Amino acid sequence: MLAQPPIWLILVAFICAIGPLVFIHEFGHYLVARCFGVGAEIFSIGFGREIFGWNDKRGTRWKVGWLPLGGYVRFVGDADVASAANSDVPAELADKSFQGKPVGQRFLIVLAGPTANFLLAILIIAAFFATVGIPRTPNSVDRVVPGSAAEQAGIRPGDRIESIAGQETPTFEALRYVTALRPGADVSIRIARGGESLTLQARLGAQIVRDEFGQSHRIGLLGIPPPKRVLERPGPLELIPKAVGATISMVGMMIDGIVQIVSGYISPKELSGPLKIAQIAGQQASLGAFEFVALVAMLSINLGFINLLPVPMLDGGHLAFYAIEAVRRRPVGERAQEWAFRGGLAALLALLVFVTINDLSSFGLWERLGRLIG
């Protein structure tokens, strides 16, 4: 078992992971806004009091805040960092105002942030595929563990697992991921056997496993040992399409994970917040550059995906309002938007508190406090 990385490495790794991702996200907004002639007053990485900053020749204040949990671009015409409309925009700046642009341009400016995160992840994944290869371990069954869920379901050596719980499993890696998300779940399994397609029913097993840092995770088990791993090296013209496909697949896995939490197969306690992400960043950095960059790619996909959720205060909430505006041909009322943003902020703050409690629990804080009190 590996020792936990030192605090200084955790902090440095967290900043090195989150800082560039936030910058890429906000720079996506900024770059597309510039293309449409929108002026930017502030470009901030982090929130709170400014640590340092500078003004460029266009009058934009570039700064770094002390709280590295996000960032924002405040455009001309924005009343706050959430891009609420400011009704007191000077006439000479009206043509540079974000709120004064057509709804289609505003939509693209907001969409550019998550898109930039996805593009970064695609480039990183393409680089991995070019240097390491694509995992393509066959989804065929070499042997079945006696007494396992696979044996009880009637799976035999030579079968090929095509899907589990309606999720396609073209590779053993996909099979393992889908299974891990469903500890103790009743699932349907589609297999190919002797030219026929059969559907079997199984109740997956559940096991607590520990990673190299001693942290425990509850996962689902089918009972099929992995065959020898296969890596496929794609051609140069295939790299980007394959990386796009892998990114889309990861987004699908994230959605599947959310569904499993809502369904109750995964405990909400598995949700992680900034503290846990910082710890994981430090752990991956201690394992090496490859593992750390792989984590950055995953976090970039997470950041893009989360920001597309239709929650007020997030990019997805703005996109939903702009879609409604495009259909109605007039903006949603200011009062309705204000209450929606307040509700979205309250929900995000509640989620932040919840995942922070989870993080502290995973560190064993509550157990130590209980022993002290007891």
Q: Give the catalytic positions in this structure.
A: 26
Tell me the two tokens of residue 100: 């004064």
Phi/psi of residue 70, each to 5°? 155, -160
Sign for the CA dihedral angle at 258, 338, 300, 1 comes to negative
Q: How far apart are CA 76 and CA 19, in angstroms?
A: 24
**Which ranges of the chain would DSSP assign to H, the alpha helix?**
7-35, 103-131, 149-153, 172-180, 239-263, 274-287, 289-308, 315-328, 334-362, 365-373
**Nearest-5° angle of CA 77, CA 83, CA 87?**
40
The amino acid at residue 226 is: P
Contact 96, 38 (CB under 8 A): yes
Measure Cα distances from 23 to 121, 300, 308 in Å.
Answer: 14, 11, 17
Q: What is the rounded (10 degree) CA torsion for 289, 127, 316, 38?
A: 100
Rg (CA), the chain: 24
DSSP character at residue 171 = S
Q: How far apart are CA 132 and CA 231, in angstroms?
A: 8
DSSP 294-332: HHHHHHHHHHHHHHHSS-TTSHHHHHHHHHHHHHHTSPP
Nearest to 125 by CA among 42, 9, 14, 247: 247
